[in-house]
Amino acid sequence: MPSTLKLSQLAVGRRAVVFSFPGQGPAMVRLREMGVLPGTAITLVRTAPLGDPLEIQVRGYSLTLRKSEAEHVLVEPTEES
């Protein structure tokens, strides 16, 4: 079992690979349609000035999502090289 954590807990600047979506619902479908799928590499670029929403880099573009949405995404941080 790899060490996973919620996307909302990932530190700014860290890279990770999406592990799974424990939750269901339209937000998760849309997130996947935007290319965030199990196995996809992402980087948490920054948070908005007030700490929420988050900006991630995925498949070469920038995507925002709220922390409440990021809680339903499990990721596996990649070792920093």
Partner 1 sequence: MTDPGQIPPAPARTPVYALVGNPNSGKSTLFNALTGLKQKVGNYPGVTVEKKVGTTYSQHGRPITVIDLPGTYSLAARSPDEGVVRDVLLGRRADTAQPDRLVCIVDATNLERNLYLVHQLLDLGRPAILVLNMMDLTAPAGLNLRVARLEHELGIPVIPCEAVNGKGLLELRLAMSRADLPLSRHRWEIPPAIAPAVAELQASLIENDGKQPLIARAEALLLLTDQDPVRVAGSTPLSEPTAGMLEGWKRRWQGEGVDWSGILVNSRYEAIGRLCAEVVQRAARASPAISDRIDAVVVHPVWGWLVLGVIMTALFLSIFTLAEYPMDAIDAGFAAAGGWVKHAMAPGDLRDLITDGAIAGVGGVVTFLPQILILFFFIGLLESTGYMARAAFIMDRVMSRVGLNGKSFIPLLSSYACAIPGIMATRTIEDPRDRLTTILVAPLMSCSARLPVYLLMIAALLPGDRVSVGTKVSLMLLMYALGTGGAFGFAWLFKKSLLKGAPPLMIMELPPYRLPRMKDVLLQMLERASLFLRKAGTVILGISIVLWFLTTYPKPAGPATPEQQIAHSFAGTAGRVLEPVIKPLGFDWRIGIGLVSSFAAREVFVSSMAVIFSADNYEGGKHGDVTPVRQSLAAARWPDGARLFTPLVCLTLMVYYVFAMQCVSTVAVVKRETNSWRWPLFQVAYMTGTAWLVCLVIYQAGRALGF
Phi, psi of 27 (to 5 degrees): -65, -40
Q: Name the segment binding partner 1 (CB under 8 A); options: 2-10, 47-55, 73-81.
A: 47-55
| Spatial contact of 9 and 71, defined as CB atoms under 8 Å apart | no
Which of 13, 14, 41, 62 touches partner 1 by CB under 8 A? 62
Regarding 14 and contact with partner 1 (CB under 8 A), the answer is no
Regarding 66 and contact with partner 1 (CB under 8 A), the answer is yes
CB of 35 to partner 1, least distance (A): 5
DSSP for 51-79? Answer: S-SEEEEETTEEEEE-HHHHTT-EEEEPP
Chain residues that interact with partner 1, rule: CB under 8 A: 21, 24-35, 37-38, 46, 48-53, 55, 59-66, 68-69
